[in-house]
Structure formats: structure tokens, C-alpha cells
Amino acid sequence: MNHKRFILLSCFVLLSGCASVIEGESQDVVVNTAPQGASCTLLRNGAPLGTVSSTPGTLHVEKTKDDISIKCDKAGYRETTYLNKSEYPEYNWAYILVGGPVGWGFDSVTGADNKYASPVTIDLLRP
């Protein structure tokens, strides 16, 4: 009987965190603007994550359930903010089926079951 419990427990451990193993707990967000050459700051809950000094550019971010605001500015254009929402991938149901409640719980806590749109293109307008 102990042998069966060990095998069952091993399966749970091996399958837990399926999204974090396949997708990772972070991702690159590619920021484009029209016109190019803008400076963009990425913020989550008001805290800066980093800056793309000249678009197009990329910033590596940790995945969470919180949205990211992207504020871009360029001389001669209005400052523009884009909200990059944290969303579940289309295939998230597969991770839940494979990983079960333990895997889904692990992925949910780490944010691995979320993703941000990338690339994003932000249109800058003249004043």
C-alpha cells in the first residue's frame, strides 16, 4: 500500500507547475510605437518595472495577475498610456487538466498561468 501512495505522490509532484515548466514565470514584452523612437516605462501597481529607452524595444518581466501600464513619450507627441492586461493563455485549460489542482495552484501562485500581450504597438498622437 505504501508503494502505491509513493507513486501517486510522485505523479502529483512531477505534474505540478506544468505552466511554469513549459511557459516559465517570466516573459519578454516587446513594445513598438508609431512613430518609432519613443521612450516607454512599464509599471505594475505604480512601481516601475523598467524602461525601453527607444522603441522598438523589449523588457523582460515577471508574470503576475496584475496588469502592466506602459507609458510612452516622444518629443512633439502626447504622452500615451497603454494597459497590457494579464490574461490566461488560450490553452490554460490543458495545464489544469495535466497538472491537476496541485499544478494549477502552483502556477496560479507564481503567475506562470498568466501572460501579457507581446508585441504591443502604441500609436502616439500629436498635441
Q: C-alpha distances in angstroms, 103 versus 30, 99, 111?
A: 29, 4, 12
Q: Delineate the domains of the chain, giving CATH numbers in brackets.
A: 2-123 (2.60.40)
Q: What is the pLDDT of residue 24?
A: 80
What distance in Å separates the CA atoms of residue 63 and residue 47, rounded to the nearest whole number? 15
The model's pLDDT over 46-66, given as tens digits with 9 standing for 90+, comes to 999 999 999 999 999 999 999
Q: Which of 17, 111, 34 is nearest to 80 (CA)?
A: 34
Q: Are 51 and 71 in contact (CB under 8 A)?
A: no
Q: Are 4 and 24 in contact (CB under 8 A)?
A: no
Half-sphere exposure of 5 (CA within 13 A, CB side): 2
The model's pLDDT over 75-109, given as tens digits with 9 standing for 90+, comes to 999 999 999 999 976 655 455 555 555 455 555 55
Residue 19: pLDDT above 70? no
The model's pLDDT over 37-49, given as tens digits with 9 standing for 90+, comes to 999 999 999 999 9
